Structures are given as C-alpha cells and as structure tokens.
Amino acid sequence: MSLKASYHDVPVEGRAVLVREDLNVPLKNSRVADETRLRAALPTLRGLSAAGARVIVMSHLGRPQGRADPALSLRPIGACLSQLLERPVAFAEDCVGPAALEAAAKLRNSEFLLLENVRFHAGDEANDPDFAAQLARLGEIYVNDAFAASHRAHASVVGVAERLPAYAGDLMLSELQALHRALDDPRRPLLAIVGGAKISTKAGVLRHLLDKVDRLLIGGAMANTFLKAEGREVGSSFIEDSALAEASSVAGRAGEKLILPLDAICARQMAPGQELRTFAVESVEPGWMELDIGPRTRELFAAQVAGAATVVWNGPVGVSEIPEFAGGTLSLAEAIAGSGAYSLLGGGDTAAAVDALGLSGRFSHVSTGGGATLEYLEGRELPGVAALRNAA
C-alpha cells in the first residue's frame, strides 16, 4: 500500500484545518476516565497549531445512533484536551450548522475548536453526502488522524476526504508506517503469531498473512482446531468444527511455515482455581481443556521469535484474562521484547489484552486500531486511508 501525504507537506498557516481524531475515551460521571487516546491525538493537534492553522477537531464518542445524547457530549473531553494542550479549546454545540460555522469563523490562527459528537447526526455513519458537505464547509484542508475509525466509510472519515484536500495526521502515519514496515517491506524472516478462539473470525487475516510471512505460529483455542484437523486428540478443548476444513486448507498451503503448539496447560474448566495439568498435544485426556501453551511450546515459540527479524502478533495464545492461563502470553511477550526483532502487535482486542498484562511498552509498535488493524492484516485497504492523498 502506498504511503500517505502528511499535513506537514502543505502550508496550513492561517487556514482552517478540519481534523478527524478518535477521542472515543471512556467517561465516568462526565469525566475522562482514561486519557490514552487524547494523548495520542496531541502531536497532530500541537503540530497544526504550531504551524499556524486554525484547528477544528471532530470525533465520535460512543454510539449515540444519530441523536443528541447529553451523556455522550464531547464537552468534558474538550476540557480535558485543553488541560493536556495547556491551551484554550473552544467548543461548538453542534458539529455542523450555524453553531459550528460561527465558532469556526471566530477562530484565529493556532487556536483550537472542538465540535460536538459527529454521531449525534445519523448522516455520519450513513456517509450522507449532504452531511459530509456540511462538515467540509468548516475547513479548507482535512486531516484524518483517526486510524481506529478508518475501516468504516463514515462521512467524517471518507465523505469529507472526498470534498477537501485530505492528509494524514501524525498518529495515522505512525500506524500506517508501522504496519507497512512490518508487512509490506519487512526485514526477514517475518514471523506472525495468531491467537484467539475462532478461525472463522480471522480467516481473512490467516490467508493474507500466510502469503507474506516466513513462519506462522498459531496459539489460543484456534490452535486446537488446527491440531484436531491433523487428527490429534484434543480432549475437551474448544474446537471449531465448522472450520476444520479451513484449518486443513491453511495448513496445506502453509506447509513448513506453520508451527503449532507441542503441549498445553490444561484444566477441567475454564475458570480460576482449577487443578492444572500439562499434556502433550497428542495425548490430552478426555475431560481436560487446553487453555494455554505449555512449557515446550513456549521454548519452541521463543526459539522461533529469536530467529525472526520482524514479528507480527495478533491475539493472545491462551485464556489470558485468567491469570493461570496468561503465562504463555507473558512468556511470548518477554521473548519478543528481548529479541531485537521489529515487533508489531495489535488487531481486535490484542492491544487491550497486552495492556492488561502491563506489556504495552515492550514492543516496537502497539497498533490501537482494533477492527481497523484486523482489516489491514487481511490486506484490505481501509476506506478512510484510501481517501487520503498519496505521498509524493
């Protein structure tokens, strides 16, 4: 995929720049409960302000479904953003119409304006042309910094980009560059690790990665389905029977590239406080479920990681939300962090799982895209990214 042009490439001084951020942060009692996403937006906002732009910021918050919902107002986020920027942030009660136009007209160079939640209008998610035109009227240049929202063809992501010169923000660029570096132009060997419960929810990811990688390591419950497809006994482990044929097909195409677990930490129930036993994958006894990769698998995976120059990791390799079954995911994270390989982690709830284990800082890049990252890992061009200008 081609790289995208940055707002740094164009003069913005004195111009109204409409910026799409992902400020979808958790709120508690109308206060911001986690500032991570706001901090991630700061480089672009500061960069535009420093360059003398009039900075008009828009975002969604939650899913108000096309109706104004006071509980999902961006106003408290504006207050928090103002503290982080150490600058005033004006607020417009609506993201389009007179309130927005008047507030935008008052804005001077380097000042900030935050618009109310774009999803208070049904036109955003519907990518309604009139709504997109109303948003576009607010700015002369559009900057998309909301990678995590860019797999959805919404008006604030795609519609506006079709109406204004459209550039990538700093966060967007760092996500795209990391994904590009890991998948499109990797130092080899390139190793991918895919975990999670179901093959069917990641079939596109598996197929696409298979074409790109030198090694594909499978963990999590989906490994059981691969093992079962090879004819092994997997006890009472989660098996996706409807994906056995897909597992065989992936395994057949992968050949030597595919690496499956050798052993597993098992319990009789997927719950804390159970009796634990380690079984080789060919001899899991009936009644026992594979819930994490075992010690021999951890060694195998660590050795594979040690030989890789680039590692892409999606999905925990065990039931990492239960401490007894998080050991495999932790040891894999340690192996990656200590390997010196360029490491990219993300997609779905991977970032959240690794964050919960306190490991986020250990990787070259943790992609925050969730569904957007998964779609990139499938080789799909994200609509919001496709709409941006290519780098010269």
Partner 1 sequence: MSHQRPLLAANWKLNPVTAEAAAELARGVLGRGERLSTEVDVVLCPPYCWLLGVAEILHDSHVELGAQNCYWERSGAYTGEVSAAMLAGWCQWVIVGHSERRSHFGETDEMVARKLAAALESDLNVIACVGEQADDFDSGRSADTVARQTDVLLGEMELHRLRQLVIAYEPVWAIGSGRSAEPEHAYSTMRAIRQRLRERFDQAATEVRLLYGGSVKAANVAAYVELPNCDGCLIGGASLDALEFSRMLAAVAEVYAGAAGRAAE
CB of 240 to partner 1, least distance (A): 3
Nearer to partner 1 among residue 54 and residue 151 (C-beta):
151
Interface with partner 1, residue 203, by CB under 8 A: yes
Task: Out of 257, 371, 379, 380, pick the active-site residue.
Answer: 371
For the record, the structure tokens of 46 come out as: 């500061």
Question: 349 among the known binding-site residues?
Answer: yes
* Residues 52/94, Cβ–Cβ less than 8 Å: no
Interface with partner 1, residue 386, by CB under 8 A: no
What are the DSSP calls for 51-111, one per residue? TT-EEEEE---S--TTS--GGG-SHHHHHHHHHHHTS-EEEESSSSHHHHHHHHHH--TT-
Interface with partner 1, residue 212, by CB under 8 A: no
Q: Which residues contact 2 (CB under 8 A, 6 or more apart)?
A: 390, 391
Sign, CA torsion 161/162/164/166: positive
Question: 108 among the known binding-site residues?
Answer: no
To the query of whether residue 252 is one of the catalytic residues in this protein, the response is no
Q: Which stretch binds partner 1 (CB under 8 A): 129-137, 164-172, 221-229, 273-281?
A: 221-229
Question: 22 among the known binding-site residues?
Answer: yes
Site for partner 1 in 316-355 (CB under 8 A): 347-348
To the query of whether residue 207 is one of the catalytic residues in this protein, the response is no
From residue 257, give the alpha-carbon distance in Å to each of 167, 329, 385: 38, 21, 31
To the query of whether residue 198 is one of the catalytic residues in this protein, the response is yes
Q: Name which position in 7, 120, 238, 279 contacts partner 1 (CB under 8 A).
A: 238
Nearer to partner 1 among residue 99 and residue 386 (C-beta):
386
Which letter does DSSP use for residue 170 in this model? H
Cis-peptide into 189, omega within 30 deg: yes
Sign, CA torsion 154/157/158/163: positive
Q: Are strands 166-168 and 342-346 parallel, antiparallel or unpaired?
A: unpaired
Question: 348 among the known binding-site residues?
Answer: yes
Interface with partner 1, residue 151, by CB under 8 A: yes
CB of 134 to partner 1, least distance (A): 19
Task: Out of 348, 369, 370, 384, pick the active-site residue.
Answer: 348
Question: 60 among the known binding-site residues?
Answer: yes
Site for partner 1 in 25-84 (CB under 8 A): 63, 65-66
Query: Among all chains, which residue has been given the structure tokens 């057949």?
Result: 252
Task: Out of 15, 163, 198, 207, pick the active-site residue.
Answer: 198
* Residues 182/175, Cβ–Cβ less than 8 Å: no
Q: Name which position in 104, 221, 247, 312 contacts partner 1 (CB under 8 A).
A: 221
To the query of whether residue 28 is one of the catalytic residues in this protein, the response is no
Question: 369 among the known binding-site residues?
Answer: no
Question: 297 among the known binding-site residues?
Answer: no
From residue 19, give the alpha-carbon distance in Å to each of 50, 53, 161, 325, 351: 15, 11, 10, 42, 25
Nearer to partner 1 among residue 95 and residue 205 (C-beta):
205
Site for partner 1 in 239-298 (CB under 8 A): 239-243, 245-246, 249, 269-270
| Residue type at position 181 | R
Annotated binding residues for (2R)-3-phosphoglycerate, written as ranges, equal: 37, 119, 152
Q: Which residues are catalytic?
A: 37, 198, 348, 371
